């Protein structure tokens, strides 16, 4: 049997350059249903505990609905950014923190202008200890990331956000989401205004991956 050889140049590029896109979202260009369905079709190839597939996906395009959700998003987001600026002190004035503040604030400012807001949901509520909670969220976040990768490979960008979850009940009411269904985030989705992105700086893997025992380097 022959193994399928993947084009790792492309897959590595996809995996290392799928950024949280906020400033480079094209707010004018419409996003077709077909591209969203294509990306969701790929997303739901992700694993779920016991094959449960308990995910549901809310795709929000209606302007009035986006306005209502956007108001909650903005209220929480503004407070979060303000707290972040205060906590960072001088560091918030330049460098990576300043860049994150600028891009985070921009997304908050334009949230209802983003063509599509996607809210991934998991049926049920997280209950119990670490095992149950991990399994609950583990049934949705791999698919969320696959969705973001599929978007990126088609020229669209997104950011996983959590602000609106502070008003999960109100947003559930707006969208008719039944009791017992958990919203896990909100993804603003749009085509990107630039063709490519770069890998982000990360702590070297040698410092954060261990062999056999906590803290023991894999290679020296
Ligand atoms: C669970 C989770 C929640 C997040 N919530 C928000 C959010 O509410 N707002 C936001 O702008 N970004 C949010 N992000 C995106 C991170 O801020 C982002 O990953 C970080 O800025 C690093 O950028 P990168 O994804 O391009 O590497 C979230 C990311 C994760 C994984």
Which pLDDT score is estimated for 220?
60
Report yes or no on 198 lying in a domain: no
- Would the pLDDT of 31 be above 90? yes
pTM recorded for the entire structure: 0.97
Supply the residue whose CA is at minimum distance from atom 11 of ligand 1: 104
Report yes or no on 36 lying in a domain: yes
- Would the pLDDT of 41 be above 70? yes
Minimum-distance ligand 1 atom for the alpha carbon of 19: 26
Q: Is the CB of 160 under 6 A from ligand 1?
A: yes
Report yes or no on 204 lying in a domain: no
Per-residue pLDDT reduced to its tens digit, 46-103 = 999 999 999 999 999 999 999 999 999 999 999 999 999 999 898 888 898 899 999 9
Report yes or no on 4 lying in a domain: no
- Would the pLDDT of 163 be above 70? yes
Q: Is the CB of 73 under 6 A from ligand 1?
A: no
Q: Is the CB of 200 under 6 A from ligand 1?
A: yes
Q: Which of 160, 199, 200 to mutate to test the pocket of ligand 1 (most atoms within 8 A of CB)?
A: 160
Q: Which of 15, 20, 188 to mutate to test the pocket of ligand 1 (most atoms within 8 A of CB)?
A: 20
How many domains are contained in the chain? Answer: 1
Report yes or no on 133 lying in a domain: yes
**Contact of 58 with 174, CB cutoff 8 Å:** no
**Contact of 73 with 161, CB cutoff 8 Å:** yes
**Distance from Cα 26 to the centre of ligand 1, integer Å:** 19
- Structural domain boundaries enclosing 83: 23-192
Per-residue pLDDT reduced to its tens digit, 177-218 = 999 999 999 999 999 999 999 999 999 999 999 999 999 999
Residue 21 CA to its chain's centroid (Å): 10
**Distance from Cα 19 to the centre of ligand 1, integer Å:** 9
Q: Which of 159, 166, 196 to mutate to test the pocket of ligand 1 (most atoms within 8 A of CB)?
A: 159
Instruction: Tell me which residue of 141, 133, 188 sits closest to 163, measured CA to CA.
Output: 188
Listing DSSP states for the chain in one string gives -PPPPP-HHHHHHHHHH--B-STTB-SSS---HHHHHHHHHHHTTS--GGG---EEEEEE--HHHHHHHHHHHHHHHHHHHHHHHHHHGGGGGSHHHHHHHHHHHHHHHHGGGSSEEEEEEEES---SSHHHHHHHHHTTHHHHHHHHHHHHHTTEEE--B-GGGGGHHHHHHHHTPPTTEEE--BEEEEEBSSS---PPP---HHHH-BSSSTT-BS--
Report yes or no on 17 lying in a domain: no
CATH of the domain at 123: 3.40.109.10
Report yes or no on 131 lying in a domain: yes
**Distance from Cα 219 to the centre of ligand 1, integer Å:** 30
């Amino acid at each position: 049997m022959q193994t399928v050889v993947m084009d790792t140049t492309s897959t590595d590029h996809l995996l290392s350059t799928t950024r949280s896109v906020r400033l480079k979202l094209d707010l004018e260009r419409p996003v077709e249903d077909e591209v969203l369905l294509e990306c969701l079709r790929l997303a739901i190839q992700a694993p779920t505990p016991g094959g449960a597939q308990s995910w549901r996906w809310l795709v929000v395009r209606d302007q009035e609905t986006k306005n209502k959700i956007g108001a909650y998003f903005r209220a929480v987001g503004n407070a979060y950014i303000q707290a972040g600026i205060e906590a960072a002190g001088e560091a918030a004035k330049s460098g990576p923190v300043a860049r994150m503040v600028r891009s985070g604030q921009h997304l908050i400012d334009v949230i209802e202008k983003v063509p599509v807001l996607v809210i991934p949901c998991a049926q049920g509520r997280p209950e119990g200890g670490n095992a149950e909670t991990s399994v609950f969220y583990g049934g949705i976040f791999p698919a969320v990331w696959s969705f973001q990768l599929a978007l990126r490979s088609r020229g669209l960008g997104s950011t996983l956000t959590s602000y609106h979850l502070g008003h999960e009940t109100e947003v559930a009411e707006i969208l008719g989401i039944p009791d017992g269904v958990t919203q896990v985030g909100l993804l603003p989705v749009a085509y990107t205004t630039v063709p490519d992105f770069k890998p982000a700086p990360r702590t070297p893997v040698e410092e954060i991956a261990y062999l056999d025992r906590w803290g023991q380097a894999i290679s020296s």
